[in-house]
């Protein structure tokens, strides 16, 4: 089981309704989101290349970055990921 991050050190806030995280609340969260945006830009650039190897590499890179984003966001969200019902929760 992954170690629990203290709520005051969380990088992301939880969604008010539903499952998952909302926007970053600390600079570390914004840095993670910015790095993911850079990977998406690299994916777009590589996907436009006529070389099939570059396109496959771009898809693998995007998949790996997306899985890493989900793992980091889940670990660093205040209160963890669970279903929330707005003010009742």
Mean pLDDT estimate for the chain: 89
Instruction: Please state the rounded mean pLDDT for residues 17-41.
Output: 94
Q: Please, is 86 exposed, middle or buried when counting C-beta atoms within 10 Å of its C-beta (0-12, 13-18, 19+)?
A: exposed
Phi, psi angles (nearest 5°) of residue 11: -95, -20
User: Residue 6: pLDDT band by 50, 70, 90 thresholds?
Assistant: confident
Q: Residue 30 — pLDDT band, cuts 50, 70, 90? A: very high
């Amino acid at each position: 089981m992954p170690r629990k991050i203290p709520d005051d050190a969380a990088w992301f806030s939880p969604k008010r309704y539903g499952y998952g995280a909302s926007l970053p609340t600390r600079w570390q969260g914004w840095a993670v989101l910015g790095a993911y945006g850079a990977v998406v830009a690299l994916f777009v650039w590589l996907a436009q290349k006529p070389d099939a190897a570059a396109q496959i590499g771009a898809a693998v890179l995007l998949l790996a970055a997306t899985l890493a984003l989900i793992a980091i966001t889940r670990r660093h969200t205040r209160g963890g990921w669970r279903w929330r019902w707005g003010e009742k929760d």
